[in-house]
Amino acid sequence: MQLTRVAEAKLPTQWGEFLMVGFEEISTQKDHVALVFGDITGETPVLTRIHSECLTGDALFSLRCDCGFQLESALDAIAKEGRGILLYHRQEGRGIGLINKIKAYALQDKGYDTVEANEALGFAPDQRNFSFCADMLTLLGVDKIRLLTNNPKKVRVLSEAGIKITERVPLQVGRNPKNSHYLDTKAAKLGHLLGRS
């Protein structure tokens, strides 16, 4: 287990009231959060979204990505389902951090795609560790989920960690002229399961 469960409190939102559960990485003290909606106990697979931190998309309304659109759509889907979990995974910029993400954006402004920009800065295309998310689910007492994702890597990592994924639920929202190249690159170079929406 790479994490400990350290805090929880109610979080009222426009979608309803969630339980916000804080987790801390044992080795680094870096924190992650789960938003839990409704009763997640029982045998029925829980609708779950792993959402990687994206300050620019989630909080600053950037159109360069689809992150903010996915965050809101996932919360809406969970609320409509009546139960579910959103894991807010604190690994900004596919794990390279906010400042390096801004540097990658500058390279993209010069014609690099998102993968080329990360590699030009000396990083792998995607440095995120999704095994933390399996630990968060285990600490929440959940081992069977329906995963809201377009990313097959999330499915593979969680499955290998013992989480049973009964369904991959696509989450294709937010395509626009500012992010279409970014989304096409995710499909072509990172294997994301994206169709044109």
pLDDT in tens, 11-55: 999 999 999 999 999 999 999 999 999 999 999 999 999 999 999
Known binding-site positions: 49-54, 65, 67, 70, 92-94, 114, 149, 154
CA–CA separation, 81 and 78 (whole Å):
5
Q: Which domains does the chain have, with CATH numbers?
A: 3-91+128-190 (3.40.50.10990)
27, amino acid identity: S
Burial of 126 (0-12, 13-18, 19+ CB in 10 A): buried
pLDDT in tens, 78-112: 999 999 999 999 999 989 999 999 999 999 999 99
pLDDT value, residue 195: 63
Spatial CB neighbours of 52, under 8 Å, sequence gap ≥ 6: 67, 89, 91, 92, 94, 128
pLDDT value, residue 185: 85
Q: Residue range 114-135: average pLDDT? A: 92
pLDDT in tens, 127-165: 888 889 999 999 999 999 999 999 998 999 999 999 999
pLDDT value, residue 197: 39
Q: 93: helix, coil or strand?
A: helix
Known binding-site positions for GTP: 49-53, 70, 92-94, 114, 149, 154
CA–CA separation, 9 and 171 (whole Å):
28
Catalytic sites, residue numbers: 126, 128
Q: What is the mean pLDDT of the chain?
A: 93
Single out the residue of 191, 194, 158 nearest to residue 66, CA to CA.
194
Known binding-site positions for Zn(2+): 54, 65, 67
